[in-house]
Amino acid sequence: MKIYRCSGSMYFTVPVRVTSSVLKEAMRKYLQNQEKHKVKKVAKKAEKSVPRGKQTVGKLMNQRQGLTNIEITNWNIKSFERVANKYKIDFALKKDKSVDPPRYLVFFKAKDMDVMTAAFKEFSAKELTKMNKPSIRKRLLKYQSQAREKNKQRERTKQKN
């Protein structure tokens, strides 16, 4: 068997007998290297296993942190999800069917309270601007009726002359 040894930029081949002690040392180093890679893989897997963003209430409870909830209406769930994803909040939505109309509860971790407050401020500001802003269809109908009125006035003036 030949073993390559490096001296600076030159490589030498040295014939070596494979004895039980050399084989034992080689196996020990191989197993140490494999163990090191195994620990890294387990650490990466652990990072990936913690769910992020929208999830079920059960998964959120399994993270062993206190939960808090807030009630929202059904018409703004999707816009809330966008804001929550932007702030990287772990949350779960639960539909309460016992009330008519059904209400939705947003569960989130208690440690995310400050982040959640900021997210809800942004969310409520967006919703208020949407509510105050007139609908494009309504504005379009208004302008169409104004255009019809002007057109009628023009026809009347043409017929008088």
The residue behind tokens 């949350």 is: 91
How much of the chain exceeds pLDDT 90, in percent? 6
Which residues, listed in sequence order, are joined to residue 71 by a DSSP beta bridge?
105
How much of the chain exceeds pLDDT 70, in percent? 80
What is the crossing angle of helices 77-86 and 113-132, to 10°?
130
The residue behind tokens 């401020």 is: 121
Residue 68 to residue 83: CA distance in whole angstroms: 18
Structure tokens at 23: 């084989």
- Per-residue pLDDT, averaged over 15-42, amounts to 84
Q: How many angstroms from the chain centroid is the CA of residue 2? A: 54
Q: pLDDT tens across 79-121, in order?
A: 778 888 888 888 888 888 888 888 888 887 766 678 878 888 8
Supply the pTM of this predicted model.
0.45
